[in-house]
Structure 1
């Protein structure tokens, strides 16, 4: 199958890290500029300090020790049907903005072909709201060229409680989107 065919691709080429939902408790000190709340009960609480969570420290240490090996950093979340590119602050633009948008558009097209689900690609201030402290912003600042937050289904109807019958289709779409990004990297390297 295609999954098996591409399975070795992930293990023989160390160029992508996929992180599941580490946007908050970010690994860099300038993380409280915009889009955060200092109420510890808020979903926008950035933590007591940079890298305050063990999981964030583990990912940070891992990436820092191998940052020259990575070409891609993906952080997967729900919900919103978006591919978010750096940066979350409205006053900063990634130096490779055009490339990020082009690769992101390719991924959203691949996602759409699976179940005709629309995803939007852009910076958080352009398609969502300003944020600071995302793991993908930090990864881009470490020199990793392609960094994305993938906000999975849905578009707000069910929010974080996606119905069971939408879980498999969401995984199929996400797989195609990620595969599109990875294939783009492989094409650039060859």
Structure 2
């Protein structure tokens, strides 16, 4: 990919929680769509010409593999704790954003175990290191989860609103208008529950002011066991949201790049 001085970027990660299979499916869907419709779809062409796009399809690879081989409902990674026989850390409680306060647990046997210290896990540390080294260019952080059909943004670790709360609300409202399914939206702590140590709050505090968590289909009928017949619908909803918010960020942060870009 050619480099353009001052070019902005977006980050997209999937599969931080192992059992949320529709999440990695979306990252692959997004890459396939982007490559297939570049120079065909005007929105995706504009996004790819104007932004670098970093995609991490499976943030939690060992946990994800474990759901295929042993326990379909596994959530955490598969790290071993020297202080306990219990396995795994909740990677979305392991970032340095009010780490291990209310909404997380210091108990390795719980599903929301925060780890021994912030970024104790190699997966969380790798993401944090990359974003720290690209914080001047990354303007948009998107992390894909399931389920519940939610459009969430910071903060999740405290009840206070962000300085650009109205802008984030406006983005979520614009996305939801295009959905057939019902999606709730709002700051994480007020919309669902307190969840410290999350990647979206950490990214926001780093300086990435457009930071979103998408909880994809459904609302509980199938939950984590979303049937294959629902994949296209869920992924198309997430694709629409990704395009809308990326275009909004471009509108606010930079003029379209003129050089041809390939991915």
TM bracket (short chain) = 0.7 to 0.9
Aligned residues of 2:189 and 2:195 also touching (Cα < 8 A): yes
Q: CA deviation at 1:4?
A: 2.0
Which residue is equivalent to 2:127?
59
Which residue is equivalent to 1:138?
202
Q: Which ranges of structure 2 fall in alignment gaps of 5 or more residues?
A: 1-32, 61-90, 256-263
Distance in structure 2 (CA, Å) of the matches to 1:157 and 1:65: 41
Aligned-CA RMSD value:
2.3
186 and 40 in structure 1: CA distance in 2 versus 1, 3 angstrom threshold: same
Aligned residues of 1:89 and 1:132 also touching (Cα < 8 A): yes
Taking the TM superposition and a 5 Å limit, the aligned residue runs for 1:40-189 are: 40-110=108-178, 112=179, 116-188=180-252, 189=254
Distance in structure 2 (CA, Å) of the matches to 1:41 and 1:166: 33
Distance in structure 2 (CA, Å) of the matches to 1:25 and 1:34: 11
Q: Normalized against structure 1, the TM-score is what?
A: 0.87
Which shifted more, 147-156 or 24-33? 24-33
The structure whose Rg is larger is 2
Q: CA deviation at 1:8?
A: 7.0
Give the paired residue count: 185
Aligned residues of 1:79 and 1:152 also touching (Cα < 8 A): yes
Aligned residues of 1:83 and 1:119 also touching (Cα < 8 A): yes
Q: CA deviation at 1:77?
A: 0.6
Q: Describe the superposition over 1:35-69 as per-residue Cα deviations: whole angstroms up to 9, x where unpaired.
A: 11233232211122211221111110110001011
Q: Normalized against structure 2, the TM-score is what?
A: 0.64
Which residue is equivalent to 1:4?
38
Larger helix fraction of residues: 1
